[in-house]
Amino acid sequence: MFRLVRGLGAGSILLVLATVLAACGSSPKAVTGAAHGSPITIGFDNQQLGAVAFPDFGAGAQAARQYINAHGGINGHPLEFDNCYTDGTTSASVTCANKFVQAKVPLVLEGIDLGSDAAVPVLTGAGIPLVGHTAFGPLQSNSPDAFFFGAATGAYDAVPLVVMARDLHVRSFTYVVGSGPADEAFVTADLTPVARALGLHFSVIYYNASAPDYPSIVAAASSSHPQALFFIGDEPGCTSFVSAVASTGYRGDVFAGSCSAFVTADASAAEGVFTSTDLYLPGDTQGIPAAKGAQVKLYEAAMERYAPAYVSDAFAQDTFSATMDVASVLRGIKGRISPTSVLSALRSIRDLSSFMGQPLDCNGKQWPGESSACASGLIEYRVEHGRRVAFTHGFVFAKSLV
């Protein structure tokens, strides 16, 4: 199971971009101005076709690429995408993988592709690394040739428990999650050991995600009077759950996974609800490191200029960040950029400051059972007056408890 974890005028945009350029990372030899050298072309895979399409993932990556090229590219070379769009089927993902192998790209950047695990053996066989923000399958979650710059999926189960115990002094909660083998595995592998280590008592409510009855789910979850409710589900599910909780008058703390749409979908019900993220959020630059605040402003300005329809989209932020991180890695490679040199650079990442995020360490040890994750920290936000406000001071980690 994976979690989808998530008014400036033109003159103002250019001013902000110029002001915060220094915050987006630099190469060993910084290059300013538009890139004019020979292009560096990487593969870009995104699910933009079919009934379930995610153009927002594509928009964030493309906006970052345009920004990168307007500000020196990769040591003077423009960054180009060899685009391949899928429809969520494994056959489409394999077709794209074969296309990338034939094109001899040095790496493949993934936005989202729900069939992409089928592409992993093709890319691995050609020695081409797969990079992104979030892994969308168990094979890529543990591939030695895959690297993901967002937090490990297991962290989304574990970190909220640390916040419950440490900051809210909660001692009991109900975990509400869809029924299925993957979800049950998360309860066993991540939730249970962390709860035990923190002295938390919990019960689990498994619901039918294909036909959920949220009032009944909430009634069952709150029947034992837990101090907190912890829901995991998709965006519509989060909104329905939060609304149902509010209608019952439940007075404990409510955690809504990594969801965000509920904040505006039902503003009154959303008040006080907690949600997790692995990036600093747009509009939240108070009390965070100055460099990260500058990066958030850069992101907002770049999206306004290059992809204004997606400026407030959480998924676009994920791919924007990942593309900026890829650029940082490529700038640090001396000599020819090839699958071999890129793999070596990715495996050597230690304490690389992720764009709008946390330090990255791609040593394969960030989370048990997710060796391709390069990070494990989350920031917990709480809804206050219709907006998400950082509740924790920086990133919270729980991997030592698993």
- Per residue in 316-371, pLDDT (tens digit) is 999 999 999 999 999 999 999 999 999 999 999 999 999 999 999 999 999 999 99
Q: Is 351 left (phi over 0), alpha (psi -120 to 50) or beta?
A: left
Mean pLDDT of 311-320: 89
Closest of 320, 328, 331 to residue 356, by C-alpha: 320
Distance of CA 155 to CAs 66, 259, 371, Å? 32, 15, 13
What is the pTM (predicted TM-score) of this model?
0.88
pLDDT in tens, 15-71: 333 433 344 444 444 556 777 889 999 999 999 999 989 999 999 999 999 999 999
Kindly list the domain boundaries of the chain, sorted by start residue: 10-128+289-357, 155-278+381-401
**Going by DSSP bridges, is the β-strand pair 172-178/228-231 parallel, antiparallel, or unpaired?**
parallel
Alpha-carbon gap, residue 318 to 278, rounded angstroms: 9
% helix / strand / coil in the chain, to the nearest 5? 45, 20, 40
Q: What is the three-class DSSP state of 172?
A: strand
Distance of CA 34 to CAs 15, 17, 80, 136, Å? 16, 13, 13, 34
Closest of 162, 170, 135 to residue 150, by C-alpha: 135
Alpha-carbon gap, residue 222 to 200, rounded angstroms: 16
Alpha-carbon gap, residue 220 to 236, rounded angstroms: 20
pLDDT in tens, 147-158: 999 999 999 999
Whether the pLDDT of residue 254 is over 70: the answer is yes
Mean pLDDT of 250-256: 97
What is the pLDDT, as a whole number, of residue 10?
33
Domain 10-128+289-357 shares a fold with domain 155-278+381-401: yes
Task: Write down the architecture of domain 10-128+289-357 according to CATH.
Answer: 3-Layer(aba) Sandwich (3.40)
42-52 as b/e: b if 16+ CB within 10 A: bbbbbbbeeee
Alpha-carbon gap, residue 169 to 166, rounded angstroms: 6
The H or E element spanning position 141 is helix 138-141
Mean pLDDT of 263-283: 94
155-278+381-401, CATH topology level: Rossmann fold (3.40.50)
What is the pLDDT, as a whole number, of residue 12?
32
Alpha-carbon gap, residue 388 to 272, rounded angstroms: 9
